[in-house]
Amino acid sequence: MNIRPLAGPVALMATLALCVTACGSTDDPANADGAAKVTVWIMKDSVTDDFLTRFRTDFEATHKGTTLDIQIQEWDGIGEKVTAALASKDAPDVIEVGNTQVAQYAASGGVRDLSAKVAELNGADWLPGLAEPGKVDGKQFGIPWYAANRVVIYHKELFAKAGITAPPKTRAEWLTVTAKLDEGSTQGIYLPGQNWYTLSGFIWEDGGDLAVRNGTQWKGALDTPQALAGMDFYRQLQALGKGPKDSDEAKPPQADVFAKGDVAQIIAVPGGAKIVEEANPALTGKLGFFPIPGKTADKPGAVFTGGSDLIVPEASAHPDAAYEVVKALAGEKWQTEMARTMSYVPNRTSLAHVIQDDEGTAAMAAGAAQGRATPNSPQWAAVEATNPIKQYMTAVLTGTDPARAAKDASESITKTLGS
């Protein structure tokens, strides 16, 4: 899943408008296909124009004879555009895609299998929640580029006022702390009833899943005891605030609600704090971060990992040079640069230390180690289009029998995944 569907962008960067085209010789022995120009599609607002300029300059200096044509793409309508490109004979050489979109694109047969490159790319060190969506039927089509996940953003002064000196480490502590905060005019937490990405983490933490695969068939799994336990925890936490039961974090924007100053916690990506501070500058310096707590104190809870992968189309005119671009962007040097520039979580667990000086990003990196992704089915995008999970959540929060609501939602998911 790309970052755009998260509740608020990871970072609101200036509009990118970089399309670099240059000419050069083709005498680079490292490029067996004699590449002269490599076309790279990067999504709008993924990284800054300065980052791309620095990357292009460095890449072209170290890959003589190859130049980069970096083209910025809009998120709106990108699915159809990528699908058409993969089916054409004139595809770009490298494409950034949302990590949970890889299965859909790979099903078309137009994406190059990069399994043989995983060891060279240090794949054993990749974040599981970012790497797994790029792997379809045992083949690695998507190479992890960057990740982001939700954390708890909290109001430090409200915590101090309630006598809470440290963030909770376990789910049980979290409920106790939040109940203590939920007094008088203060909301313990603002948690909308349809924040299904957050629910997904709770379900995974309890050992459940949204859907499971049996051979070639997928089946909705919200009605398992484990998934029902995750939903029950969500219900308990959501009750400790005044969040709506029938909408998600965008309606109304939860950053605007938090900016009023009477909410103790929200669940969002760390960049959401900047949006809150822009809405209410008086909160600048008063917001803290901690990973979503797990069932035990030894590790954070499971979370949904959003982010992007890099793919190489089968129709790439310069597959060897395209791989070199992927290798560079996914490698230690530019992963470190991107993490520090964009406050993203690097694709490797061993690089978590490069962002430890930023409280929000450090909390996100700690949670990323427990990151997961949505079911790796080409049809999952169709599930999200109608999203029976949201309807299920509202049904439970408004009094419907959880088991019955979960069964209905699971049947809907099964039908869509099998279509």
Do residue 144 and residue 213 come from a single domain? no
Distances (CA, A) of 174 to 76, 91, 165, 166, 419: 37, 49, 13, 11, 40
Q: How many domains does the chain have?
A: 2
Q: pLDDT tens across 376-398, in order?
A: 898 998 898 899 999 999 999 99
The CA distance from 125 to 348, in Å, is 5
Pairing assessment for the beta strands 303-311 and 94-98 based on DSSP bridges: antiparallel
Q: How many residues does the chain have?
A: 419
| 8 A C-beta contact, residue 272 and residue 8 | yes
Q: pLDDT tens across 276-335, in order?
A: 999 999 999 999 999 999 999 999 999 998 889 999 999 999 999 999 999 999 999 999
Do residue 324 and residue 361 come from a single domain? yes
Q: What is the DSSP string of 3-70?
A: STTSSS-S--PPPP------------TT-TT--SEEEEEEETTSS-HHHHHHHHHHHHHHSTT-EEEE
Q: pLDDT tens across 25-35, in order?
A: 333 334 444 54
**CATH at 358:** 3.40.190.10
Residue 95 in any domain: the answer is yes
Residue 226 in any domain: the answer is yes
Do residue 82 and residue 171 come from a single domain? no
Do residue 240 and residue 93 come from a single domain? no
Residue 10 in any domain: the answer is no
Do residue 216 and residue 270 come from a single domain? yes
Q: Is the pTM of this model over 0.75?
A: yes
Domain range holding 234?
A: 151-303+377-417
Residue 6 in any domain: the answer is no
Do residue 257 and residue 383 come from a single domain? yes
Q: pLDDT tens across 177-196, in order?
A: 999 999 999 999 999 999 99
Residue 203 in any domain: the answer is yes
Do residue 190 and residue 314 come from a single domain? no
Residue 20 in any domain: the answer is no
The CA distance from 55 to 417, in Å, is 39
